[in-house]
Structure 1
Amino acid sequence: MGLVDLHCHLLPEVDDGSPSMATSLKLAEQAVADGVSHCLLTPHHLNGHYVNHKQDVIKATVAFQEALEEAQIPLTVFPGQEVRVSDRVLPALEADDLLYVDEEGRYLLLEMPSGGVPTFARQLVFELLQHGVTPVIVHPERNAAILDDPSILEAFLEQGCLTQLTAASYMGTFGKKIEDLTTRLIEAGQGTIFASDAHALARRDYELNEGLAKMAREFDPHLAEHYRRNAKRLINGEPVRMKWQPLKKKRRF
């Protein structure tokens, strides 16, 4: 098995990701070239712009897998969702309209609004945990509130959340400030996995393998391997634990 990408927007014409099947197949080729063998397809769900119901995503994933096989692209895909924090999440859970990272429904990709963290987010996390669902907070390093005050994330880690950092953030694709915070989160053990969050937009190319290679150089090859294995553990519904500490205070002059 190659790399497992647990957050990407390769499904065509369902959200702000790939606009066409041709683009999706091109992205799939880029994923394979980057060393990815398995992708969780995670269109936006309940984010105020897009609603991608469970059965629709499953159907679209089957069609995309068939297209991949016809194009002879060796990529295995699974249906998933990137679920936005809102008051619609728990009703969707109860209506069986959520897709999880794993088939057992143990891990859920949970997205904060890009501009901040809602006051009710921690209560939602509590409710999800009560249902046996562990939220995986996606790309926290790109959230405006967390970027301004990274300690906000620690409250969610204390609750038991995991995190998905974006490889491109670590590579500096989104700017120096986001790269620096991503590095600090890795250093403090506040990251669980890397993912691509590939969108078929500018600055959203596949950099998953490159990000792991950079991690191996700057930190430790064992840490990069740990991130790789965590992705496999999550998609298999296996236990994943984090050993984290508060971020070191930055010196100010």
Structure 2
Amino acid sequence: MPGVDDGAKDRTMALQMAEAAVNQGISHILLTPHHMDSHYTNHKLDVIKHTGAFQQDLIDHEIPLKVFPGQEVHLTGDLLKAIFDDDILFMDSGNRYLLLEFPHNEVPEYAENMIFELTSRGITPVLAHPERNQGFQKDPDRLFSFVEMGCLTQLTSSSYLGVFGKNVQTLTEKIIKANLGFVFASDAHNFEGRRFTMREAFDRLSEQVDVKTAERFNQNAKNILNGDDVEIGDIKRVSDIKKKKFFGLF
């Protein structure tokens, strides 16, 4: 979505990114501008309006891409009020899945209480890029607890490919091995480090884990967008994953 946060700077760049997405085999995109963080506020009605305008631009330029309005919602103490005020966009039209971003440098002390408040209301938080959160990096087993509470996770495709460094890549691999990862996101912002790498991530997942896991990640994304069930499966703690047994030898 052009000109709303640190993503596409303008309409021209947004259309070019849309073409790059199509070239990756992407047909549908959930637009998730930042909301309620320290830098950006993108209210629900504004996002819906901008999404509609961008979809028309895509049609006018004959770019075969369907876009949906969403938000990457920052975890704050005002989150429940924003939900009650109907200023939050969910990942699906049934208001079941909420894309939730923790502060990058920590997992807040009140996070568990907030997750409980959300899940008790039938809302499933989908934690955005936990592999890049410093709190989970320091104690990856905390992620197990959040999934056990009912959260899902959305891993950044470029994290899995090493764009954010070897440590983030290794943690992403372990999260997947522990069955604590559920979907990939492009998190595309530009044409450099934060570009579309979905095809490469799915290819690597098929090769290094198996095709079935890659298919499951893809199906989970569809299920979330449609508001359907996502199977949790047999989850493990990251600390139980032995590096020497992960994905064989490279």
> TM-score scaled by structure 1?
0.93
**Contact 1:17–1:201 (8 Å) recurs in 2:** no
Q: CA deviation at 1:49?
A: 1.2
Equivalent residue number for residue 90 of structure 1: 80
- Does structure 1 residue 115 correspond to structure 2 residue 111? no
Equivalent residue number for residue 17 of structure 1: 7
- Does structure 1 residue 127 correspond to structure 2 residue 117? yes
Q: Distance in 1 between matches of 2:176 and 2:219?
A: 16
**Contact 1:100–1:109 (8 Å) recurs in 2:** yes
Q: CA deviation at 1:250?
A: 5.2
Which one of 171, 185, 194 corresponds to residue 175 of structure 2?
Answer: 185
Q: Distance in 1 between matches of 2:112 and 2:131?
A: 18
Q: CA deviation at 1:201?
A: 6.2
**Percent of pairs with identical residues:** 46
Higher relative contact order, chain-length normalized (CA < 8 Å, sep 6+)? 1
Q: Distance in 1 between matches of 2:242 and 2:227?
A: 36
Which one of 190, 205, 221 corresponds to residue 231 of structure 1?
Answer: 221
Equivalent residue number for residue 139 of structure 2: 149
Q: Distance in 2 between matches of 1:174 and 1:56?
A: 31
Q: Distance in 2 between matches of 1:189 and 1:224?
A: 12
Deviations 1:216-247 (A, max 9, x none): 00011011000000000000000012121112
Equivalent residue number for residue 248 of structure 2: none
Secondary structure of the structure 1 residue equivalent to 2:27: strand
Q: Distance in 2 between matches of 1:73 and 1:58?
A: 20
The verdict on how the C-alpha distance between 1:129 and 1:69 changes in structure 2, with shifts beyond 3 A counting, is: same
Deviations 1:13-33 (A, max 9, x none): 111111101110111011101
Task: Structure 2: state its 5+ residue gaps.
Answer: 245-250
Q: Distance in 1 between matches of 2:159 and 2:49?
A: 31
What is the 5 A alignment of 1:66-85? 66-85=56-75
Q: CA deviation at 1:202?
A: 3.4
The verdict on how the C-alpha distance between 1:21 and 1:142 changes in structure 2, with shifts beyond 3 A counting, is: same
Equivalent residue number for residue 245 of structure 1: 236
Which portions of structure 1, spanning 4 or more consecutive aligned residues, are displaced by more than 3 angstroms?
249-252
Equivalent residue number for residue 165 of structure 1: 155
Aligned residues: 242
Q: Distance in 2 between matches of 1:147 and 1:153?
A: 10
Q: CA deviation at 1:152?
A: 1.6
Secondary structure of the structure 2 residue equivalent to 1:127: helix
Task: Structure 1: state its 5+ residue gaps.
Answer: 1-10
Secondary structure of the structure 1 residue equivalent to 2:175: helix
What is the 5 A alignment of 1:39-50? 39-50=29-40
